[in-house]
Amino acid sequence: MAELGTGTGCSLACLVAAFERHATPDQRLHYVGFENDPTMLDWWRDPASRTLVPPSERAALEAILARPIRSTQGVARWRLLDGRATVTLVLGDAARWLPNFSFLADAWFLDAYEPAIETMLWTREVLGHVARLTRAAGTASTFSAAGAVRTGLDAAGFDVQRVAGFDTKRHMTVATRRSGAAASCIQPWFTPPPAANPERVTILGTGLAGAWCARAFAERCARVTVIDPQRSAPRASDVPLAAAAQPDGSWQSEQVRVHDAAWHLLADRCVDLGVPHRLLPITTLAGPTSRMALIASPRELIHALLDHPLIQVTDRASHEGCVVHATAFSTPALDGTVCSRAQPTPNGGSIGQIQLANALDTAIMHEGYALPCADGVHAWIGATNHPGVWAASPHDVATHPMRIQPETASLEAITERLLGASHPVMASWSGTRAASLDHLPMVGPVADDGAFTRAYRAIKHGPMAQAWPPCSYATGQWCSIGHGSHGMLTAPLAADLIADLAFGTPRSITDELLSFLLPQRFALRDLKRARD
Ligand SMILES: C[S@@+](CC[C@H](N)C(=O)[O-])C[C@H]1O[C@@H](n2cnc3c(N)ncnc32)[C@H](O)[C@@H]1O
């Protein structure tokens, strides 16, 4: 289901309630709503307004109102009814955001106001995108019975009918999509694979990337086997306390845009799952910022994510169903694929625990970082992004951050200025992260490198050089690797992206951001630079 103008969330609440009443346990609801003004949901916070909702629909409304909602433009994603209903709420001008999404809705709730009142939602461009995003024989309806609405829908490709309205409305409009959807705007080399609807999934790796993937597939009814590999070195996810920071920097940067989407998804997912986490404001050495950090224990998070009846963790090798490589680095199994030409490289990191001189209620981030523990007495301080250096011994105090990090001056400044001068290290952790070449993870279906090269070799002559085939992928192979020091932030986004692609369900990120995450982006860059 999709909606133009989520507004107060009334239609959404009624939809969720109807789904709860009528759907069978294996059915899933995906709702995508576009709304310019997130404060519209506040209307219901006045108890008098709530009495306007029929009692049978109130529980769904309460579940929606309990959700924190982002105050900036972008996507919010909520899972309701134990994950059976997924709400993707795109906040911002629909005219701007619609062109950057690709999904196929069975039905649309169009705006209730006619063009004379709400011009922006009835333009030819907007209705063209509504048609593009509707299945053949999918429907659209609106309380408006204005002639311009009917002509606009007809021109966009719908068969339109004026039918009896509800309540005080004498008429309303219903419309049926005449043919299949037009092609999406995604470039051929980034075209997603056809939906595979896997019933069984094997996930290699039980770090944050693997655990988030396992949960995302289990929520979509797949049986998941997670393989816990024999480990010789500590994993990134074994770090005792981790933070995901809201990004800082220009929106021109794709990393900032991906990290912003990832941060909001992580915050939404932690609320969905009820996992222990804290939100603290970020301070730098220059002073407080308006950004927040989400702080949690990765081990606790992984434990909560894997605690699901459809998830089984084993150390026995198995490759049932589709396989997700969540192994941080590219493994020999990915040799010959586009992943093998852009191997993530190891980055070292280490953190030490110190006793606080004064209570700390912010996350300090300045090259290195300091995160207060929940006990209010201790903090973890360090840096986990040291290219090319990693510690052989996981718990070696000699490798604690004050000794091995080039950011030592910064860490000393953090401890002295903000925590007090005395900082004996009481415990420490060090390990490696797998960083990709452009510091964004490699996420999605895996294409064969030779086939990709053959299909797009002529791309160096420009995207208009010829008509291109859609990208083809090695069947059933997926990856979520190269998260670097940002796995806490990007692993949930990667997991939702993979599961949404595997099931053909609406994605929580724009089509543009997809192109910064798919692993073939490195192969494409090489082909563009290649000489004859
Ligand atoms: C009549 S209300 C929708 C009511 C909604 N269906 C409900 O159940 O409460 C119209 C909504 O469209 C939103 N809107 C108007 N122009 C928009 C635009 N360009 N992009 C996204 N939303 C817009 C308004 O903020 C308002 O919430």
Question: In which band, very low, low, confident or very high, does the pLDDT at 418 lie, cut at 50, 70 and 90?
Answer: low
183 CA from centroid of ligand 1 (Å): 27
89 CA from centroid of ligand 1 (Å): 12
The span from the CA of 421 to the CA of 63, in Å, is 47
> Please, is 462 exposed, middle or buried when counting C-beta atoms within 10 Å of its C-beta (0-12, 13-18, 19+)?
exposed
Please, what are the domains in the chain?
A: 2-177 (3.40.50.150), 186-277+291-344+436-532 (3.50.50.60), 346-432 (3.30.9)
308: which 2 tokens? 């699901």
> 163 or 417: which carries more pLDDT confidence?
163
Protein residue with least CA distance to atom 14, ligand 1: 5
CB of 126 closer than 6 A to ligand 1?
A: no
Atom of ligand 1 lying closest to residue 34 CA: 21
| pLDDT given for residue 232 in this prediction | 54
CB of 37 closer than 6 A to ligand 1?
A: yes
| pLDDT given for residue 403 in this prediction | 46
Atom of ligand 1 lying closest to residue 8 CA: 9
Tell me the average pLDDT across 477-505: 96
119 CA from centroid of ligand 1 (Å): 11
Average pLDDT, the chain: 88
CB of 49 closer than 6 A to ligand 1?
A: no
- B/e letters for 296-309, b = 16+ CB within 10 Å, e = fewer, are bbbeebbebbbebe
529 has a pLDDT exceeding 60:
yes
Protein residue with least CA distance to atom 26, ligand 1: 7
Pocket probe for ligand 1: among 3, 10, 37, the residue whose CB has the most ligand atoms within 8 Å is 37
- In this structure, the dihedral spanned by the alpha carbons of residues 3, 7, 10 and 12, taken in order and rounded to 10 degrees, is 30
CB of 36 closer than 6 A to ligand 1?
A: yes
Lowest mean pLDDT among 109-113, 251-255, 415-419: 415-419
CB of 95 closer than 6 A to ligand 1?
A: yes
- Helix H segments across 147-224? 147-156, 208-219
130 CA from centroid of ligand 1 (Å): 15
Tell me the average pLDDT across 255-279: 95
CB of 157 closer than 6 A to ligand 1?
A: no
CB of 112 closer than 6 A to ligand 1?
A: yes
Report pLDDT digits (tens) over 288-328.
999 999 999 999 999 999 999 999 998 877 777 799 999 99
Report pLDDT digits (tens) over 445-475.
999 999 999 999 999 998 888 889 999 998 8
CB of 237 closer than 6 A to ligand 1?
A: no
CB of 394 closer than 6 A to ligand 1?
A: no
Report pLDDT digits (tens) over 119-166.
899 999 999 999 999 999 999 999 999 999 999 999 999 999 999 998
| pLDDT given for residue 500 in this prediction | 97
Protein residue with least CA distance to atom 11, ligand 1: 5
Find all residues with CB under 8 Å of 285, minimum gap 6, and list them.
364, 366, 410, 413, 414, 417, 418
Atom of ligand 1 lying closest to residue 5 CA: 12
| Parallel, antiparallel or unpaired: strands 287-296 and 242-245 | antiparallel
Please report, for residues 209, 210, 332, 504, 519, the alpha-carbon distance to residue 102 in angstroms, rounded to integers and kept in the order given: 25, 26, 33, 10, 19
356 CA from centroid of ligand 1 (Å): 49
| pLDDT given for residue 231 in this prediction | 57
Report pLDDT digits (tens) over 54-108.
888 888 888 888 888 888 899 999 999 988 999 999 999 999 999 999 999 999 9
114 CA from centroid of ligand 1 (Å): 11
388 has a pLDDT exceeding 60:
no
Secondary structure (3-state) at 463:
coil
Question: In which band, very low, low, confident or very high, does the pLDDT at 404 lie, cut at 50, 70 and 90?
Answer: very low
Protein residue with least CA distance to atom 10, ligand 1: 5
7 CA from centroid of ligand 1 (Å): 5
The span from the CA of 42 to the CA of 67, in Å, is 11
Give, to the nearest 10 degrees, the angle between helix 55-65 and helix 10-22. 110
User: What is this structure's pTM?
Assistant: 0.93
| pLDDT given for residue 136 in this prediction | 94
Going by C-alpha positions, the residue among 46, 42, 19 that lies closest to residue 31 is 19
The helices-and-strands tally (H runs, E runs) of the chain is 15, 22
Protein residue with least CA distance to atom 4, ligand 1: 7
| pLDDT given for residue 244 in this prediction | 96
CB of 118 closer than 6 A to ligand 1?
A: yes
Question: In which band, very low, low, confident or very high, does the pLDDT at 419 lie, cut at 50, 70 and 90?
Answer: low
Going by C-alpha positions, the residue among 308, 138, 128, 151 that lies closest to residue 217 is 308
| pLDDT given for residue 420 in this prediction | 66
179 CA from centroid of ligand 1 (Å): 27
Atom of ligand 1 lying closest to residue 11 CA: 8
184 CA from centroid of ligand 1 (Å): 25
